Amino acid sequence: MLMRIEAWGREEREPVELPESVRAETWQTLTYLMIAGGIMLFTTFSASYLVRRQSADWAPARLPDLVWVNLAVVGAASVTMELARRGGASARRWLGSTIALGVLFVAGQAIAWRQLAAQGVFLTSSPHASFFYMLTAVHAAHVAAGLAVLLAALRRAGNGQLGLCAAWWHFVGAAWAWVVMLLTFF
Amino acid sequence: MAIAQAVETGKAGHQAHGRDHGHPAGFIRKYIFSTDHKVIGVQYLLMAMLMSVVGLGLSLWFRVQLAWPGKAAMTPEQYVAIVTMHGTIMIFFVVSLALSSGLGNFSIPLQVGARDMAYPFLNMLSFWIIVPASAIMILSFFVEGGAAAGGWTAYPPLSALSGFGKVPRGSPGSGMGQTLWLLAMALFIVSFTMGGLNYVATILNLRARGMSLMRMPLTVWTYFVAALLGLLSFPALTAAAIMLLLDRHLGTSFFLPSGLVVSGQQAANVGGTPLLFQHLFWFLGHPEVYVLVLPAIGIAFDVIAAFSRRPPHGYKTSVWALLIIAFLGMIVWGHHMFTSGMNPFLGKYFSIATLLITAPFAVLGVNLLASLWRARIRFTTSMLFALGLISAVGTGGIGGLFLATATADLHFHDTYFVVGHFHLMIGVVTMTGTFAGIYYWFPKMFGRHMNETLGKLHFWGTFIGAFALFVIQHFQGFGGMTRRYFEYSADYVQPALALNPAVTWFAFLAVGAQIPFFFNFFWSMFKGKKAEANPWEATTLEWTTATPVPHGNWERLPVVSGKPYGYAEGANGDAHRMQNAEA
């Protein structure tokens, strides 16, 4: 068998390189597919939330006011991301600001968790609380993925290829806005 | 254009690689941690073959219990665990790996004229995530309480009753076995999602110059549609799995209802809805059927074209049918839940939407059949499997009509009618397509042919055995034989039970027929008749490169000049035109 597939491995040192323009297209495909998958994930959680809230034991907890501050932070991060995406001399600075705001957002979420816990509202306290903790954790994972990509982009900032990072970041921001609306008004 | 640049850069890239001639990479980089899509494709095939030994072995074990109760040396708890693991392993670790991951990896870049997948490293990672996933799934047999026993669908409450913390234990397999099952499935979802991302990016962005979407082979079209379906439906299962894990280990009540008493122990959970899990599961589960079935049909189109020496009938209608099936496939999941007490109006909707799928499926079936009309058929083993697929699509599809009708399904639900139906579709259709693909591409994979005599033995044993056993199961379902039962005592079911020994013998035949295949596969790698670059005189791009295929697939990337199926129509069916032939 090894003889038969010998030829496949021969010469292999590095993966076959693609031209930059094609690579940019594959990144675009990958990013939009991941956003589509992310939308499906949050849609599924939202549908589950709307079904679960029909039960007799549904008792929404009051969310800490901090979640609204966090919403403002993630909104500001979207603005700075957009400024970074447009390029120019200060692109790198705006990108750094976006990362800082992203970290601030995650820290704010952690504080919101602590505030809620201090009120005696834990994961199993009520289905509404379960959804709050779960959705914030799942969302934070998406933010973390975004931060990792932004950090990688910061290392080689200046080439102006931030469009896809911005797309993911705006998705993450919009997802948080949706989660807050869902948990507050539904 | 980007693709044109790829042609040039590909050439330059190959020249750059030329520096490494005479310095073959080490064994580990070439065969173990390879980023070459062809090696990864074969790795998936080998992994699927290994897992099939377990999955099929389990099926024979519980078939012995069904045919001759008490002779199989198992307890009722072990029986449900064995059935659960058979279903899980066969669907996710055999059919998905062999057909979707294995043959997809091998064929997609070659058929679209790319040097590799869009993300070769990600591709390698996808495979290497499957290895621990498979190991964890197998190892779950050996933990306290044994393997998961909640069915391959993992419905709560049973799957959620973990025995951890205040959550009572539902069954022996509901403990660590179910946790490992979820962990293995989570790894599978990660791997399969990464694979799907790679497939779509490769197909959309790496096609050779001239390869418009409507010039893609139908195999590629089906992999494309299947990958999109998977990417859009798997998140539903991901969400369900997260909530199930929280219910199991952290005491939440997403799925566990109020008032649950297990073995005298009152569960603390309040208000959860087990039905919610069913909706989420089938939102993935039903598209998953098409994720697996469609590529098998796509392969059959390519194989039938090559061996009937005619282009497939109705290429464009087949493409549109695929897209319509994909759309409808996403909105019919509720037909798996007609007996769950859903609103009758909802049931009516799910019935009608499901029955609508019959139309595009009939288009595919008719196009497959019409491709044979007045053709000069070459009855190779690959072709026999493709013909078997047409038969299974028809027979399995008819069973689907019964189950799509809510009123009929109320009777058939959870009987062997369902078991027979889904095995014909997700078992026989998928595996006949897989075998058709393996016999077809084996010469391109290994430079040698598989033995045709052993191949035909494999085909007839598989086809007769599988068809007989699953068709008989339909009749057992008619007779009221319910699924997942260790033993039966009701009088009315005795006539159906009398068929069990025959079903088991046919199962032995179908499984036994895989022995010549295994032998043939490995023997032919070394001793098979040497194959030329294009032994089938087929016309798609994979047959335009050397055999065995070099790293990077082509010296110079092909430029596509025409349709994928350049077989001459009319009386003289032997003429053919390669897809990259100069005009």
pLDDT score recorded for residue B12: 37
B15, B30, B37: best to mutate for the A interface, most A CBs within 10 A: B30
Residue at which a domain ends, from B216, B247, B269: B216
pLDDT score recorded for residue A5: 54
H or E element, residue B262: strand B261-262
Is the CB of A33 less than 8 angstroms away from the CB of B201? yes
| Interval B47-61: pLDDT, tens | 999 999 999 999 999
In sequence order, which residues have a C-beta less than 8 Å from that of residue A18 and are 6 or more positions away?
A26, B6, B9, B118, B206
What's the angle, vertex CA B129, arms to CA B197 and CA B112, rounded to 5?
A: 35
pLDDT score recorded for residue B485: 94
Is the CB of B253 less than 8 angstroms away from the CB of A130? yes
Q: What is the token pair recorded at A141? A: 């994972």
φ, ψ of residue B376 in degrees (nearest 5): -95, 85
Is the CB of B243 less than 8 angstroms away from the CB of A134? yes
Which of B232, B258, B448 is opposite residue A40, by nearest beta carbon? B232
Of chain B, the percentage scoring pLDDT greater than 70 comes to 95
Half-sphere exposure (Cβ direction) of B165: Cα atoms closer than 13 Å: 16
Which of B116, B205, B276 is opposite residue A25, by nearest beta carbon? B205
Please check the confidence at residue B578 and state whether its pLDDT lies above 80: yes
Which of A17, A25, A40 is opposite residue B2, by nearest beta carbon? A25
User: Among A117-131, B5-19, B89-103, B512-526, which stretch is predicted with the lowest mean pLDDT?
Assistant: B5-19
A49: nearest CA in chain B?
Answer: B254
Q: d(Cα B143, Cα B141) in Å, to the nearest integer? A: 6
Q: How far is A89 from chain B (nearest CA, A)?
A: 29
Please check the confidence at residue B18 and state whether its pLDDT lies above 80: no
Residue B266 binned pLDDT confidence (cut-offs 50, 70, 90): confident
Instruction: Return the CATH architecture of domain A63-186.
Output: Up-down Bundle (1.20)
3-state secondary structure B332-400: CHHHHCHHHCCCHHHHHHHHHHHHHHHHHHHHHHHHHHHCCCCCCCCCCHHHHHHHHHHHHHHHHHHHH
Burial class (CB in 10 A: 0-12, 13-18, 19+), B436: buried
Q: Are B285 and B153 in contact (CB under 8 A)?
A: yes
pLDDT score recorded for residue A131: 97
pLDDT score recorded for residue A6: 52
Range of the structural domain that residue B183 is part of: 33-216
Residue at which a domain ends, from B181, B216, B251: B216
Q: How far is B241 from chain A (nearest CA, A)?
A: 11
- Name chain A contacts of B120, Cβ cutoff 8 Å: 15-16
Half-sphere exposure (Cβ direction) of B381: Cα atoms closer than 13 Å: 25
Is the CB of B525 less than 8 angstroms away from the CB of A11? no
The count of other CB atoms within 10 Å of the CB of residue A156 is 8
Cα distances (angstroms) measured from residue B246 to each of A23, B178, B181: 39, 13, 15
| Interval A63-99: pLDDT, tens | 999 999 999 999 999 999 999 998 788 888 999 999 9
Q: Where are the domains of chain A?
A: 63-186
Is the CB of A40 less than 8 angstroms away from the CB of B13? no
- Indicate the DSSP class of residue B119: -
Q: Are B83 and B127 in contact (CB under 8 A)?
A: no
What's the angle, vertex CA A99, arms to CA A95 and CA A104, rounded to 5?
A: 145
- Interface predicted TM-score (ipTM): 0.92
Residue B551 binned pLDDT confidence (cut-offs 50, 70, 90): confident
| Interval B396-445: pLDDT, tens | 999 999 999 999 999 999 999 999 999 999 999 999 999 999 999 999 99
Q: Is residue B273 part of a domain?
A: no
Of chain A, the percentage scoring pLDDT greater than 90 comes to 73
Which of B115, B242, B445 is opposite residue A138, by nearest beta carbon? B242
Q: Are B221 and B298 in contact (CB under 8 A)?
A: yes
Cα distances (angstroms) measured from residue A110 to each of A78, A105, A116, A130, A145: 20, 9, 10, 15, 17
Q: d(Cα B496, Cα B480) in Å, to the nearest integer? A: 7
Of chain B, the percentage scoring pLDDT greater than 90 comes to 87
| Interval A9-67: pLDDT, tens | 444 444 467 888 899 999 999 999 999 999 999 999 999 999 999 998 898 988 999 99
Q: Establish, for the pair of chains A and B, how many residue pairs have beta carbons separated by less than 8 Å.
A: 190
Mean pLDDT of B126-146: 96
- Positive or negative, the Cα torsion across B238, B243, B244, B249? positive
- Name chain A contacts of B448, Cβ cutoff 8 Å: 4
B9, B33, B522: best to mutate for the A interface, most A CBs within 10 A: B9
Q: Are B434 and B517 in contact (CB under 8 A)?
A: no
A2, A11, A122: best to mutate for the B interface, most B CBs within 10 A: A11
Which of B30, B236, B271 is opposite residue A127, by nearest beta carbon? B271
B203, B248, B254: best to mutate for the A interface, most A CBs within 10 A: B254
Q: Is residue B8 part of a domain?
A: no
A22: nearest CA in chain B?
Answer: B2
Q: Is residue B117 part of a domain?
A: yes
- Positive or negative, the Cα torsion across A81, A83, A89, A93? negative
Q: How far is B36 from chain A (nearest CA, A)?
A: 7
Which of B42, B205, B254 is opposite residue A5, by nearest beta carbon? B42
pLDDT score recorded for residue B341: 87
What is chain B's mean pLDDT, rounded?
Answer: 92
User: Among B16-20, B141-145, B150-154, B351-355, which stretch is predicted with the lowest mean pLDDT?
Assistant: B16-20
Residue B2 binned pLDDT confidence (cut-offs 50, 70, 90): very low
- Name chain B contacts of A37, Cβ cutoff 8 Å: 193, 231-232, 234-235
- Name chain B contacts of A12, Cβ cutoff 8 Å: 20, 25, 29-30, 34-36, 551
Residue B273 binned pLDDT confidence (cut-offs 50, 70, 90): very high
Which of A13, A16, A123 is opposite residue B25, by nearest beta carbon? A13
- Name chain B contacts of A10, Cβ cutoff 8 Å: 21, 24, 30, 550-551
A9: nearest CA in chain B?
Answer: B30
pLDDT score recorded for residue A10: 46
Q: d(Cα A123, Cα A25) in Å, to the nearest integer? A: 42
What is chain A's mean pLDDT, rounded?
Answer: 89
Q: Which residue has the higher pLDDT, B9 or B498?
A: B498
pLDDT score recorded for residue A157: 57
pLDDT score recorded for residue B25: 64
B197, B248, B255: best to mutate for the A interface, most A CBs within 10 A: B197
Is the CB of A9 less than 8 angstroms away from the CB of B24? yes
Is the CB of A7 less than 8 angstroms away from the CB of B206? no
B21: nearest CA in chain A?
Answer: A11
Which of A18, A41, A56 is opposite residue B238, by nearest beta carbon? A41
Please check the confidence at residue B178 and state whether its pLDDT lies above 60: yes
Mean pLDDT of B168-189: 94
| Interval B445-455: pLDDT, tens | 999 999 999 99
Please check the confidence at residue B4 and state whether its pLDDT lies above 70: no
Q: How many domains does chain B have?
A: 2
In sequence order, which residues have a C-beta less than 8 Å from that of residue B416 and are 6 or more positions away?
B473, B474, B476, B477, B481, B482, B483, B496
3-state secondary structure chain A: CCCCCHHHHCCCCCCCCCCHHHHHHHHHHHHHHHHHHHHHHHHHHHHHHHHHCCCCCCCCCCCCCHHHHHHHHHHHHHHHHHHHHCCCCCHHHHHHHHHHHHHHHHHHHHHHHHHHHHCCCCCCCCHHHHHHHHHHHHHHHHHHHHHHHHHHHHHCCCCCCCHHHHHHHHHHHHHHHHHHHHHHHC
Q: d(Cα A161, Cα A159) in Å, to the nearest integer? A: 6
B227: nearest CA in chain A?
Answer: A33
Residue at which a domain ends, from B167, B201, B216: B216
pLDDT score recorded for residue B1: 33
Q: Is residue B290 part of a domain?
A: no
Is the CB of A13 less than 8 angstroms away from the CB of B17? yes
B27: nearest CA in chain A?
Answer: A9
Is the CB of A16 less than 8 angstroms away from the CB of B24? no
- Name chain B contacts of A3, Cβ cutoff 8 Å: 526
B7, B14, B17, B38: best to mutate for the A interface, most A CBs within 10 A: B17
